[in-house]
Structure 1
């Protein structure tokens, strides 16, 4: 790797850290999980994880995290969303966990916050942990973690959301 490529990756890393901390400060009640921890949860029987992709359909069509379901992040019927998740209806000892993601974390944090507020008000006896994926799909893709395209085939590509935010996604991963 050339020094200019290394410098560019350092800039992406610093930008990502800044965005993650800014989003976390905007949604202080929302817990964050990092990509490494989520990957461990997805490969463990200790957690029953529902992955919610909070991006627009055009972003989801390029790629998504395996096992995720695309949802509208601005939706108001959070009660219906939560009750429709298979994780809410499965029995067993595994911790029930909802992880929301988008491109970088703002939209997913907003939805995670709505879900947390709903669960606090509801009389549902099931303990459910709700998280935002810190750095969301950009961080996941930058780390070379698994993604699928609209045909269910493995891909490394990711929709860069907007030209401004695309700077936090490795250039070779861009697909508009």
Structure 2
């Protein structure tokens, strides 16, 4: 059985712009970088997901600096890159087929934002039958108002999104647990 694929969602320059709003998990990028380094060291599959906006003027519009990957998450030449136009990285991208062709049945999802692209992609992954894990401390969200108009902190938004996923569509873990599991998987493959 192959190692799980790491899906690194929307780690683009536009997400690092302070204008994006108040966010949580200030160590999320460091945790993502640690996971990416571990996946690369294990020669495990990595998928870099990039949002390409359909809205002119968006920081994620083609040709804008915001659409480019943040330097520490720049894909290596052999990494798979998925470009999406909606939050869900499975919609109109060929990602599901790419995973199936390689026999990949397990996914580890990190990136931004927890309640948007991460949550929608994890829901689809779970519904498609992939054993999916979302790394709580390697994702982050932004503060926003709820439907009733109440201000919700980034921590609240993040926690609710993870709650929506855990046990239904995905297993929610932290970076340390996922790194330990990757080492166990590598040890099993080497036997």
TM-score range, shorter chain: 0.3 to 0.5
TM-score where L is the length of structure 1: 0.39
TM-score where L is the length of structure 2: 0.37
Greater helix content: 1
